[in-house]
Amino acid sequence: MTKNKRSINITIKRLFKWYLPVIALILGMMLVYCWYLSIQIDKRFSGRRWSIPSKVYSDTTILYPGQKINRVLFNEKLWHLGYRKVTHKPEEKGELRISMSSMEIYLHDFKVPSRYKEGVPVNIRFDKDRIISIVNSITDQPMSIMELEPEEVMLFFGPKRERRLLVSIDQVPMNVIHAVLAAEDHRFYEHKGLDPRGILRAIYTDLRHGSFKQGGSTITQQLAKNYFLTPKRTLIRKLKELFMSLTIERLYKKNEILEIYLNEIYMGQNGSEAINGIGEASIFYFGKAVEELSLAEAATLGGLIRAPNYYSPYIDKSRCRKRRNVVLNAMYKQGWISDEELRTTLPLPVKTVGYAAYRKKAPYFMDYLSDQLTALYSPQDLSSLGLKIYTTLDTQVQIAAENALKKGLETLEKSNPALSRTDPQKKLQGAIIVMQPKTGYVLAMVGGRNYSVSQFNRITQARRQPGSAFKPFVYLSGLDQFTPASILSNKPVTYEIDGKEWTPKNYTPMTEECVTVRDALAKSINLATVDLAMQVGIDHIVKTARSLGFSTPMKPYPSIALGSFEVIPLELARAYCPFAADGVLPFPLTLKSVLDENGNILEQRHMTINEVMTPGKAFLISSLLQSVVEKGTASSLRDFGITYPVAAKTGTTNDYRDAWFVGYTPDILALIWVGFDDGAPIYATGSKAALPIWADLMNALPQYVAGGWFRMPQGVVRGMICSENRQTAAKDKCPHPMEEYFLADHIPEGYCPTYGHENSFKRIINGIKGFFNTF
């Protein structure tokens, strides 16, 4: 017996001598490893935890009583904003009920730079497409204006293409928290990162199947796995996961761990983009913020975590509902919901908001914007900092422009089969830009027929001859010497350019040897325009073009009067803006502001303007261009239903290589170009190829067409002249009186010898001078 005791003692001593140091070494290594892990975890969690793609937004949408809207485009806008149709009166934010004469909307909350808008239910009443009234459904008070939130139009994805809307634990309702815990780890607030019961259950299942089948992971373990480790199931990875979980639990409080988990978890797939986090999932599946989720919706999201794509309501609603009800029962078992809540929620169907696979909207606009943004931020910053980028884009205008171009080009190809080409790279092309002339805001940009075929932006990158679309700048240059009533020669003249003779011709033969300035521009008469250019001076015309922002090379040749030198379409559209903006040249704006993820303004772009002509000259050119529509090359606009005042100019280049149409009202300006990239003829003029596209576009945008015209500014006078000799005439004496506008300091000197009397304009000016001289 004594011998046995002695043997046991020797064995114990040997254990202490040999194994205790080994155990101590292992424990020490474990402590060092945990210390190393704590440094890595703290470094990762204390910095930027996720790469959040920056989001690009359109401009807001303004509605007011008396405004006409395109209800089809407006309804499409609401769908893109996540509003969902219901048959009952809207009770939750994002709900919408539509009838023939009214629309009830429960508006979303939204925040844009400098203001926050809380969503309220509104009732909009219509008379066809015109808004009669907008009423706040809570207060029953009429609203003079209503604003819809910006629309998300693009994301700057990183390599993982993850969408994530971060939420704090304080934002998350208890029903959502309880649903997640019931589904994944109901003892989360009790254990220290590891749940022995779950581990034993998992080991038993794995041994029975001979492989890793069952996960006994706590929420902390899932976070460690998803955030730091690969999903591959190995013993080494599982050990790392255990150590990380213990370390995370020592470093962070339970609510902090849960908040990180709720923002990290994978919740499904939308095409090529991953939906991550409970905040983004709330929007993707139900079209609402996490704070607004119902009990049934909370349980649905909780049930998705285990296998998001298998249980997705977009794939199998029946399977999703069964999983949701499992979670509801688990919540009831834990005492987190009442018997009544369980009983009323179990039978409910799974209702989702619906979704569209991600695609970059307005791609040519976005490419142009991206070029501007990359001068401010690196691609890595754009894909990780979660910036909010607000733009000038109006998605309704963009869709209308894309539709108009598609329809117009297809119509041209059908009317002339010679224009049809089978090679997508060589098809007939077109481009559109729509701007607000006073602000320079770019509302829409379509740089080509099909972005997936060609990313070449014909608005910003192409260089094309403008043809007669350049003529307004020639006439602008002559306003110091000529009036709208001045006479120009329409006789053929040969000019010598670099030792070569050049004889311009009119598009159609004319018998008149003389025409007025107004008629010359209205009917786009080439000979008269060149005559004006030669009298004004070609160098002066080049100087005028440069002041309007044209950057392409221009030589002082007479042919410049007919638009022989190439221009960039964006610059051409911009150069027309001062005519509609009292002589002010704006900078084309696509970017309005950039905010960081906390809502602080990083960049804010303001209008950059430069006065390049007097308001009087701008008004006169607009008046002359209105004649283009009333009696000139754009008179066919009436056939397309355009009955309100419009200033416009057509353009056609030699051999019909380019067709242009630029038209504007006080509120909107749009440029259309049609042609082949290789310069092949399209066998159509600007009035035949580009004008119908412009008309189709404007007919789709009644909200931008108020029907008004420009107010006559100071420095312009209006009076009667004789239509036969273009001299001042008395209306009561002249049988052919005609109203005309003139600059106050440049009015006709003579008066009609047959029907006139003393110059009425002179009397007006002298009377004004006499009035001021009395003071």
Catalytic residues: 184, 468
Question: H/E/C letters for each residue in 162-200?
Answer: EEECCCCCCCCCHHHHHHHHHHHCCCCCCCCCCCHHHHH
Q: Which two tokens stand for residue 221?
A: 């373990």
Burial of 137 (0-12, 13-18, 19+ CB in 10 A): middle
Cα 364 from chain centre:
10
Burial of 129 (0-12, 13-18, 19+ CB in 10 A): middle
Cα–Cα dist 298/68, whole Å: 40
Positive or negative: CA dihedral 723, 727, 732, 733 = negative
What phi and psi, each to the nearest 5 degrees, are found at residue 152? -70, 125
Strands 266-270, 273-276: pairing is antiparallel
Residue 312 near residue 270 (C-beta atoms within 8 A): no
Q: Where on the phi/psi map is residue 641: left (φ > 0), alpha (ψ -120 to 50), or beta?
A: left
Residue 549 near residue 571 (C-beta atoms within 8 A): yes
Q: Which of 392, 374, 390 is nearest to 382 (CA)?
A: 374
Fill in the amino acid letter for 212. Answer: F
What phi and psi, each to the nearest 5 degrees, are found at residue 147? -125, 130
Tell me how crowded residue 62 is: count the other CB atoms within 10 A of its CB.
11
* Whole-Å CA distances, 160 to 163, 201, 374, 383, 387: 9, 34, 20, 10, 17
Which of the 8 DSSP states describes residue 68? B
Cα–Cα dist 589/607, whole Å: 8
Tell me how crowded residue 67 is: count the other CB atoms within 10 A of its CB.
17
Which of the 8 DSSP states describes residue 362? S
Q: How many CA atoms lie within 13 A of 679 on its CB side?
A: 8
SS3 96: strand
Helices and strands: H and E segment counts in the chain: 24, 30
Q: Which of 115, 117, 116, 91 is nearest to 105 (CA)?
A: 91
Q: Which of 53, 78, 147 is nearest to 287 (CA)?
A: 78
What phi and psi, each to the nearest 5 degrees, are found at residue 124? -105, 125
Cα–Cα dist 672/661, whole Å: 5
